[in-house]
Amino acid sequence: MNTSTSNSSLAGQHAVVTGGGSGIGAATAAMLLRAGARVTLMGRDAARLATQSDRLAAPDSVNSVSVDVTQEAAVEAAFAAATTRFGPVDILINNAGQAQAAPFAATDTALWQRMLDVNLTGVFLCTRAALPAMLERGFGRIVNIASTAGQTGYPYVAAYCAAKHGVIGLTRSLAREVATRGITVNAVCPGYTETELLQASLDQITKKTERSEKEARDALLRQNPQRRFIAPDEVASTVLWLCTAGSESVTGQSISISGGEIT
């Protein structure tokens, strides 16, 4: 990271980014770091987290903790480790997630539970781990990376849509609960974004439909009025804004970053 471009708008604050090893999480972590925050990257893949930490090139301000966000005890231990290194969490970015497609009739209980565990229960567990210290200090910023799938319905991803709708419901409920406590809670809802998750979706489409990757991309792009995929930095910029001064009155919102797909 080129520290000459840094600013100090988040100086002294500790941000945790789950799913921080790649994609939106990595882009968000980089922006928070440039804004002066100390950043803890969390995710299941320790090697990927280490690689991303090296890319950020700020060893005194970046920490990484391997954790499965679906496991209660592991989440509690991970947040304890993060707090030991950088102090209480001021900013929590719940970005860890997973998508898997299947027709509704072929969605078994294992797939259903997996989508709920990773995409919704993980948000609950991480938020529960970070919130007490925020309440004690009267300040916090929680941003849940949901999806346009939490704002509308898509075919063949009923479990994923249900989980992301749940994230938005959790966001709205908690935002009202802590509205007078100096804590804001918001959801950012990207459309199809150029990440490994998108590539996995394209691979699934090509495998199941025998269409080429270009045809699969074109089919997804037709859903976007701008006819393009979202860049991770575009999502990260919105997250950063929700964490900095001037956004204090924005809470309980689900902000679509989707090129006009959701209006």
Does 208 reside within a domain? yes
Query: What is the pTM for the complete model shown?
Result: 0.92
Sequential DSSP letters for 195-238: SHHHHHHHHHHHHHH---HHHHHHHHHTTSTT-SPBPHHHHHHH
Instruction: Encode pLDDT of 28-45 as tens digits.
Output: 999 999 999 999 999 999
When comparing pLDDT for 214 and 130, which is higher? 130
Q: What range does the domain containing 212 cover? A: 195-229
Alpha carbons 108 and 105: distance in angstroms, whole number? 8
DSSP label of 117: I
Contacts by 194-203 with C-beta closer than 8 Å and gap 24+?
A: 194/229, 194/230, 194/231, 194/232, 195/22, 195/23, 195/24, 195/232, 196/22, 196/23, 197/23, 197/97, 197/98, 197/99, 198/229, 200/99, 201/99, 201/101
DSSP label of 6: -
Mean pLDDT across the chain = 93
In the three-class reduction of DSSP (H, G, I as helix; E, B as strand; rest coil), residue 93 is classed as strand
Domain count, the chain: 2
- Residue 75 phi/psi, 5-degree rounding, is -65, -45
Same domain, 60 and 172: yes
Two tokens, residue 88: 């209480």
Does 1 reside within a domain? no
Instruction: Encode pLDDT of 77-127 as tens digits.
Output: 999 999 999 999 999 999 999 999 899 999 999 999 999 999 999 999 999
* Known catalytic membership, residue 160: yes
> Tell me, what CATH number does 32's domain have?
3.40.50.720
Does 262 reside within a domain? no
- Residue 80 phi/psi, 5-degree rounding, is -65, -40
Instruction: Encode pLDDT of 180-226 as tens digits.
Output: 999 999 999 999 888 877 777 777 777 777 788 888 788 888 888 99
> What is the percent of the chain with per-residue pLDDT over 70, rounded to a whole number?
98
